[in-house]
Amino acid sequence: MNFIADRNEITSNQIITNETKSKFEEIFPTIIDFKNPKLIEIDGKFIASLIVTNYSREMEAIFLDRLLSLDIDLQLSIFYEKQNTYDVIKELTYNISNAGANIKTSNENQNDIDRLSYVYHDAKYIRKQLQIGEEDFYYLYLYILVCADSKEELESDLQKLESTLSGLGLKSRRALYRQQQALISNLPILKNDPELKRLSKRNVLTSGLIATYPFLSNELYDDTGILIGLNSFSNSLVMIDRFNSNKYKNGNMCVFGASGSGKSYFVKMMINRNRFLNTTQYVIDPDREYTNLCQRLKGTLINFSGNEHINIMDIRENSIDENESYLKSKISKLNVFFSMIFEDISQEEKALLEEHIIKIYNNYGIFFENNSLYEECENTSFIKTKKFKNSEQMPKLEDVYNSIKKDKKLKKYSTILKTYITGSMSFLNEYTNVDISNKLVVADIYDIEEEKIPIIMFIITELFWDKIKENRKNKKIIYLDEVWKLINKNKDAAEFVFKMFKTIRKFGGATTAITQDVTDFFALDDGKYGQSIINNSSMKVIFQLEENNIVKLSDVINLSEEEKYRLINLERGKCLLHAGRNKVMVDIKVSKKEHEVINTDVNEM
């Protein structure tokens, strides 16, 4: 930018840029007005600077973070000048000698003697640190530039900033008649005005420089990730790629937050954005919060209100790991299911029930040998191939019911099982006909009886889990909303969920646990399973919580006192994101169009 060099030729103390500009010069302002000694006007914006002239003898760590957290448009400019150690020690020795002599011969009052004593001891301390080689000596210069849309706003911001600086133990003065020099010193051109240096120079050792580091918050940006929002401190973009195996141990995530804190809104945002990355997603929805999103994204909605059925006795082709037995794997899952509906069943009765189940599968020609699940068939070329048995070739719950009601030791459980045969849960006694081939599948279990919800959550989770194992190359995510309902009472169910968190990574998948009830999340076995799930999640997202819930979480997640305070007072839509080794306070951001898709607030809708 070409400024008119001779200030005497400028009317009204204005600097006007050249009319003929290159493309690069077009970014510069047209008028910079220095007429007012208190401020500068640049194209309708008002700017003023503060010069920090002195500091408290002991400053708190990273004190500039307090300034950056203010709701003020400000800019910090910090200069460090390293000094020659030999010259500094020489000058300090001379001053120490003079100060010592003045203390001995001083006839002044006690305040003056104390002041001399401070200078004497500080100088001796600095010299010692320099002599033993642990520290270097610097001069520190700090300037703060404030920008506002009006003079009134600028004055208000300056007063707020001055008050904050005073509270931190910093003395400051406004750059009256020196606004131009201060502006230049705040530009990224590494020019520290000599006149300002005289006013703001302060000596500091290397250890003291740490306190002036202005960036307290971590940055979290994965190039291939999904936009989450903005860093609440730096306003930088926060992007996460939970499948980045080079950065994260796994893609699992735990989401905590009180009702109305923005927890479900965040999850729906993640589902929406993952959908556009072609990620396969499965959602268990106990509170009917994802129906609208599912319909808008043309996903598959399962709600069991019509002719949708799941046969818990199904054995699916992708349901086992390598070298496992299909039947053995299925029996272990059925043991979980029956332990949930037969809450008081003994180990002896479990073993007896397992015998009945094995016989039932044997009657259908299914044995522990995996080839018993395949049958020969001919294709159009009349070549014989093997095909996995379908749902209609599997037993149903009714088979178990008919078998155990004849057994005196298990007959009492047939009464409980009857509701799953002819009662309200009879949709589990039909051949599976739900379609989960869509890239987005939402299982709505809102209409299920409250006491049966954990059982249905397990059945659907098992169905999704088998589907996740189908193709290890494709990315997929399963969302367990209100997961505490599944893990807070039954150890077998909790163990199943924990195993999924532990092993889903090798199938190219990730699990998301969502809960508002932290107490129930840690209720079972002294919090063993809740803690294990968190420990096997590389990402933790925490929205506003009650203090007692934060205390419980802090026993597992290392939260500082400041983080605890922020979490208690978080506004809706803001969260603490803990990803890998980074912790970032995030302001969730969505577009207007996206908000219309994921919003379920009745008042706004």
Pair 364, 395: CB distance under 8 Å: yes
Confidence (pLDDT) at 340 = 94
Express each pLDDT in 390-447 by its tens digit: 999 999 999 999 999 999 999 999 999 999 999 888 889 999 999 899 999 999 999 9
CB atoms within 10 A of CB 258: 17
CB atoms within 10 A of CB 500: 22
Confidence class for position 3, pLDDT limits 50, 70, 90: very low
CB atoms within 10 A of CB 179: 20
> What Å distances lie between residue 28 and 11, 32, 77, 80, 187, CA to CA?
20, 10, 20, 28, 13
Cα dihedral 542→546→549→550 (10° resolution): 60
Is the pLDDT reported for residue 171 higher than 80? Answer: yes
Strand, coil or helix: 12: helix
Is the pLDDT reported for residue 58 higher than 80? Answer: no
Pair 14, 30: CB distance under 8 Å: no
Report the range of poorest mean pLDDT among 468-472, 497-501, 529-533. 468-472
Is the pLDDT reported for residue 14 higher than 70? Answer: no
Q: Kindly tell me the burial class for residue 598, based on how many C-beta atoms sit within 10 Å of its own C-beta (0-12, 13-18, 19 or more).
A: buried
Confidence (pLDDT) at 20 = 46
Q: Strand locations in 56-133, DSSP E?
A: 74-82
Q: Which residue is associated with the tokens 């640049």?
A: 42
Pair 284, 477: CB distance under 8 Å: no
- Residues ≥6 apart with Cβ < 8 Å to 597: 268, 272, 292, 293, 296, 297
Q: Strand locations in 26-166, DSSP E?
A: 31-33, 40-42, 45-54, 74-82, 137-148
d(C-alpha 228, C-alpha 272), whole Å: 12
Pair 519, 547: CB distance under 8 Å: no
Is the pLDDT reported for residue 21 higher than 80? Answer: no
- Both tokens assigned to 306: 């019509």
CB atoms within 10 A of CB 298: 10
Average pLDDT over residues 63-70: 75
Confidence class for position 113, pLDDT limits 50, 70, 90: low
- Both tokens assigned to 193: 């005005």
Q: Strand locations in 384-504, DSSP E?
A: 384-388, 440-444, 476-481
Q: What is the pTM of this model?
A: 0.70
Higher pLDDT, 301 or 18: 301
- The H or E element that residue 302 is part of is strand 300-302
- What single-letter DSSP state applies at residue 24? G
Q: Which residue is associated with the tokens 């996903």?
A: 299
Express each pLDDT in 308-346 by its tens digit: 899 999 999 888 877 889 999 999 999 999 999 998 899
> What Å distances lie between residue 419 and 353, 381, 451, CA to CA?
18, 47, 13
d(C-alpha 38, C-alpha 518), whole Å: 54
Confidence class for position 12, pLDDT limits 50, 70, 90: very low
Confidence (pLDDT) at 107 = 59
What values do phi and psi take at 415, rounded to 5?
Answer: -65, -45
Express each pLDDT in 274-284 by its tens digit: 998 999 999 99
Express each pLDDT in 588-604 by its tens digit: 999 999 998 898 766 66
Average pLDDT over the chain reads 87
Confidence class for position 364, pLDDT limits 50, 70, 90: very high
What's the Rg (C-alpha) of the chain? 34
| First CA to last CA distance, the chain | 51
Average pLDDT over residues 99-104: 72
d(C-alpha 374, C-alpha 359), whole Å: 18
Express each pLDDT in 368-397 by its tens digit: 999 999 988 766 566 668 899 999 999 999
Pair 301, 444: CB distance under 8 Å: yes
In one letter, which amino acid is 593?
A: K
Q: What percent of the chain has pLDDT over 70?
A: 90
